[in-house]
Amino acid sequence: MSSIIGNHLKVSIFGQSHAPGIGCVIDGLPSGEPINMTELEAFLARRAPGKDPLSTARKEADKPEFVSGILDGHTCGAPVCAIIYNTDQHSKDYSEIADKPRPGHADYTAHIKYGGAQDVRGGGHFSGRLTAPICIAGGIAQQILARRGIRVGAHIYAVNGVYDDAFDPCDIPVSVFDAVAQKKFPVLNDEKGAEMQARILAAKAELDSVGGIIECAVTGLPVGIGDPMFDGMENRLARILFGVPAVKGVEFGDGFAAAAKRGSENNDAMEYAPDGSVRMKTNHAGGILGGITTGMPLWFRCALKPTPSIAREQETVSLSKGKNAILAIHGRHDPCIVQRAVPVIIAAAAIGILDAVLDTERNF
């Protein structure tokens, strides 16, 4: 499968950082769904770089061209193909990177796997730039979900050890998602956000980078979405989330914290809500039991490692000379990619959620 994900809804991602373009094919979308292009482009703009000192100076319009699948502003049932042509590539010499694999990047592993034929320019198929087509597919999925009352939102939960407030896992009105989506630096607590930004700029000044954690939630899901064992919501979402570069950990609900707790603390008591539906009084389970949605908000967190591209000198090897070497990475890099990754995590979640929704017989 490699760069393809999904059961009912299949998303195929293609492109390299310095190839003519990057894009996606989305096969299995319901037909007749209106796609709001203005909204989609606004969503993509949240990921785009070059906006401030916190991210790379590379300018990318990230405006997708739709080659197929959309007619008169609606999905027509045929696969949707969207392409972003790469325009702002620096035609620099990549021979040093081809020779000296960058620590923390896939340069060395790709070199061995592809026998030297891989595209090293800008990270090739492993570039963070490939998250743009994930956002196209996820942005479309998000619109289709919203029409079914299902909303996806996320915020920066931590940067370099500074923590934001957390979502209330039992009650996340759409206004919370909307408010954080408006922010240039999407945190719930702006004081914490300022502290995070200070950490990012400090790392940048020291030619270094920082990592962070993103918290994401999905509201409006009916009970019964997802399947047992290997197609549970955790499995589906983890499989796609680990496809986002830099993600090294995923936890649902209390996750690793649950491991330190007792059952009596972690079980979510159940009760009837005033409207006659069954609900949980707490939501440690992250809205998922047995892989299946409980009707409570589904929530999870992803750990992103610090950007591996740093301007400091690093120890590596020269593959051509067969001996140890020192590498100094030049060029435009993000001292922190967490703020730009927020829409990517939303997009990845939306793809996984829509796939599970379409897989389920139960109707809306």
Within 31-90, the residues that bind a copy of itself by CB under 8 A are 31-32, 65-69, 71, 74-81, 83
Residue with smaller CB distance to a copy of itself, 57 or 66? 66
Instruction: Give least dist CB 222 to a copy of itself, A.
Output: 8
Is residue 220 close enough to count as binding a copy of itself by CB under 8 A?
no
Q: By CB under 8 A, how many residues form the interface with a copy of itself?
A: 147
Binder of a copy of itself out of 224, 320, 328, 331 (CB under 8 A): 224
Compute the distance between CA of residue 214 and CA of residue 158 in angstroms, rounded to an integer: 7
Question: Cβ distance 117 to 236 under 8 Å?
Answer: no
The yes or no reply on residue 219 touching a copy of itself (CB under 8 A) is no
Return the structure tokens found at 186. Answer: 């999407």
Closest CB to a copy of itself among residues 175, 274:
274
Least Å distance, CB 257 to a copy of itself, is 8
In the bound state with a copy of itself, the residue whose beta carbon lies nearer, of 83 and 342, is 83
Please give the Cα distance from 327 to 313 (Å, whole number). 5
Q: How far apart are CA 254 and CA 44, in angstroms?
A: 30
Does residue 28 belong to the site contacting a copy of itself (CB under 8 A)? Answer: yes
Nearer Cβ to a copy of itself (180/215): 215
CB of 175 to a copy of itself, least distance (A): 28
Q: Closest CB to a copy of itself among 182 and 230?
A: 230
* DSSP, res 58: -
* DSSP codes, 68-81: ESEETTEE-SSPEE
Q: Work out how close the CB of 138 gets to a copy of itself at its nearest, in angstroms, rounded to a whole number.
A: 13
Q: Does 358 bind a copy of itself (CB under 8 A)?
A: yes
Rg (alpha carbons) of the chain, rounded to whole number: 21
Nearer to a copy of itself, 189 or 282 (CB): 282
325 HSE (CA, 13 A, CB side): 18
Q: Spell out, one character per residue from 240 to 269, where the chain touches a copy of itself: x when CB under 8 A holds, - when not.
A: x-xx-x-xxxxxxxxxx-xxxxxxxxxxxx
Residue whose tokens read 């796997």: 113
Q: Alpha-carbon distance 77 to 166, whole Å?
A: 39
What distance in Å separates the CA atoms of residue 131 and residue 109, rounded to the nearest whole number? 20
CB of 275 to a copy of itself, least distance (A): 12
Looking only at residues 333 through 352 of this chain, which bind a copy of itself when binding is defined by CB under 8 A? none
State the minimum distance, in angstroms, from the CB of residue 315 to a copy of itself: 4
Determine how many CB atoms are found less than 10 A away from the CB of residue 239: 17
Residues in contact with a copy of itself, shown as a per-residue x/- string from 137 to 176 under the rule CB under 8 A: ---------------------x-xx---------------
Q: How far is the CB of 178 from a copy of itself (least distance, A)?
A: 26
State which of positions 191-210 bind a copy of itself (CB under 8 A): 203, 208-210
CA dist 50 → 57, 170, 180 (Å)? 4, 36, 20
User: 252 - beta bridge partners?
Assistant: 300
Are 59 and 88 in contact by the 8 Å Cβ rule? The answer is yes
The C-alpha atoms of residue 329 and residue 282 are separated, in whole angstroms, by 47
From the list 39-47, 55-63, 189-197, 228-236, the region that binds a copy of itself by CB under 8 A is 228-236
**What is the closest distance, in whole angstroms, from the C-beta atom of residue 2 to a copy of itself in the complex?**
4
User: H/E element holding 200?
Assistant: helix 190-205
Distance CA 284, CA 251 (A): 11
| DSSP symbol at 54 | T
Binding mask 87-126 for a copy of itself (x = CB under 8 A): --------------x-xxxx-xxx-xxxxxxxx----xxx
* Closest CB 143 distance from a copy of itself, rounded Å: 15
Q: Which is nearer to a copy of itself, 95 or 173 (CB)?
A: 95
**Alpha carbons 174 and 93: distance in angstroms, whole number:** 47
